[in-house]
Structures are given as structure tokens and as C-alpha cells.
Amino acid sequence: MDLAALRRGRRGAVARAISAIEDDPAAARSIIKEIFPETGRSCVVGITGPAGAGKSTLIDRLAQDLAARGMSPAVLAVDPTSHVTGGAILGDRVRMSGSTDSGAYIRSIASRGATGAVSASLRNSIRVLEYAGFDPVIVESVGAGQTEVGISLMADITVVVFSPNTGDSIQAIKAGLTEIGDIYVVNKGDLAGAGRLLDAVRDFVARSGGARVVRTSARRGTGTGELAGLIESMSAERRGRRSTPESLSAELGDIVLTGLRERVAVMAERDATFRDCVRLMQEGRLDPYSAGRRAARAVARR
């Protein structure tokens, strides 16, 4: 890995490093060990919200506005996956490589894989982009439960995007509003229903305290400048702060569990106690919980 080229933000080097992070655990480990001391200082902006809220167009505009303010944004899109193809939707992946109109580096990474693998590749891809000089690093994800929560833990600033046409009623959107946002965006603000949605979001924010609300129309280019300004000032307030202890502790726990998961998988194949337990379960002579206690002791002995 050419770390000097990566340090200078060369796109080829960045792309190769992120691919290695995603596909090659040994390479990932050696890259991260090298670059880790120089990371943790860029502002990470998580942008989440339902499919159809117009996040991608919004991010294109936002990246232009951030660049116009002298910042160097990069975008990591956590790929939406299709339940049919079981993988990235091709059109989206094509769109999501190269750069936005603003010249920001943009890249999609897989949102599916073994437990823990997605957050590991996301965390480490953010580090690659930080090392390459990008700031802020924008992480786009479809709001989908555990991923969403994971990203808000990694992000310094969390932006939640809604629009009046995602097929959910105002009632449903209100019911689903979570307190993870530092900024709530009502996008497609020129569409019918945007006013009512904005009122609902403002009500929610007034009750839960403190977050900012912005109305945008990415298509018309309104409001994204205000959003960029907010991100710039929040980013300045938080500059120099490294990743939080909560986030690093979650990462460390993930790394330890990934190792344990591999150990359990190997034991399921080879360990005599483990295989005995399975046989007794199959014969109906040992219930799963008692078997679990016995197998856990075998894991501990290793």
C-alpha cells in the first residue's frame, strides 16, 4: 500500500485502500495499524433517513456547498441492498463511485456481511478518508434499525432526512422520529405536505430539545447552503475531538467478539464436547440451554 499517495489524497490510492479494508482482513489490519495515529480528527457526518427521501441528491448539493466553504468533503454510501438480488443494486453502485458534481470523493461500501464486519469496514474506511485529508466524512445510510444506530454512534453530527413523499404518513413519520438527530432536514421542501411535515418535525424537536431543523429542496438548490453552514459551525465546535470512548469501546467489543465468533465456528466443526452436545440434543437427551452451558465451558478451556 502506497501510504504517501494515500496521504496526499490520490483517488486511486484511496480506492485501493478502501477495497483492501473491505475485502482483505490482513491488509486492513496493516493499513489501520499504520494510519491510526493520524486519524480520528475529521468530522464524521452521518446522514440517514428512509429510502426515497432524496438523500443522494441532497448530499451532492451539500458536498458542493461544503467545498465552496473551503472544506474537503468525502462521501461513504452504505449501500442499500435488494432483497431480491441479495447485493448492491447495480445502478446505485455505479452512481456511487467516482465523484459528485462537486468533486467530492464518493464511494459506496457494502451494507451486508457477517455481523460486525460492516461496522468494521465502515469505521476503517472513514479512517482511510481522514488520513487522505478529507474533512468532513459524510456517511449516507438508509435508516434501518441497527445500522442507523451504529452510524449515529460513529458520527459527530447526525442528520436525519425526511421528505413528504416517502409513502409514510405524517403520523407514521412522527411515530418513527428518534432522538438521534443533531439536525433534522425536511427535503423536497417544495412538495405538497412539506409544511405539515416541517411542523411535525419542529414539534418533535421542541419537545426533545436542542436539535436544528432545516427545510431544503435539493432539486431546486434551496436550503442546502444553510445546512452546509450548520455543519461547518458544528464541526468547528467539535474539531480536535477524537472518537468518543463510547464509540471506541463499541469497536473494541466488536473486534473481541469477531475473534470469539471465529473460535466458536471452529469448535462447532472440531471440538469433541461441542459435537457431543449436538448429538445429545438431536437425541432429545440434552436441552439447548444445558448444552449451551457445557459448550461454553469447553470454549473457556481453549
User: What residues line the site for a copy of itself (CB under 8 A)?
Assistant: 29, 32-33, 36-40, 50-51, 81-86, 112, 115, 123, 142-146, 168, 172-173, 175-176, 178, 242-243, 245, 248-253, 255-257, 259-261, 264-265, 268, 274-275, 277-279, 281-285, 287-292, 295-296, 299-300
| Residue with smaller CB distance to a copy of itself, 48 or 64 | 48
Phi/psi of residue 91, nearest 5 degrees: -55, -45
| Residue with smaller CB distance to a copy of itself, 72 or 243 | 243
Strand order in the sheet with 183-186: 97-99, 105-109, 74-78, 137-142, 44-49, 157-162, 183-186, 212-215
Helix ranges (DSSP H) in the chain: 3-7, 11-23, 25-35, 55-68, 90-95, 117-131, 146-154, 170-176, 194-208, 224-238, 245-270, 272-282, 288-301
CB of 295 to a copy of itself, least distance (A): 5
CB of 177 to a copy of itself, least distance (A): 9
| Residue with smaller CB distance to a copy of itself, 199 or 262 | 262
| Residue with smaller CB distance to a copy of itself, 220 or 242 | 242
Pick from 183, 173, 179: nearest CA to 213: 183
CB of 103 to a copy of itself, least distance (A): 29
Tally the residues of the chain: 302
CB of 220 to a copy of itself, least distance (A): 25
| Residue with smaller CB distance to a copy of itself, 64 or 147 | 147
| Residue with smaller CB distance to a copy of itself, 65 or 271 | 271
Show the CA angle centred on residue 71, arms to residues 68 and 75, nearest 5°.
100
Mark 95-117 as b/e (b = at least 16 C-beta within 10 Å). Answer: ebeeebebebbbbbbbbeeeebe
- Is the peptide bond preceding residue 136 cis, with omega within 30 degrees of 0? yes
Please, are residues 122 and 28 in contact by the beta-carbon 8 Å criterion? no
CB of 67 to a copy of itself, least distance (A): 28
| Residue with smaller CB distance to a copy of itself, 95 or 222 | 95
CB of 300 to a copy of itself, least distance (A): 8
CB of 279 to a copy of itself, least distance (A): 8
Strand duo 105-109 + 97-99: pairing: antiparallel
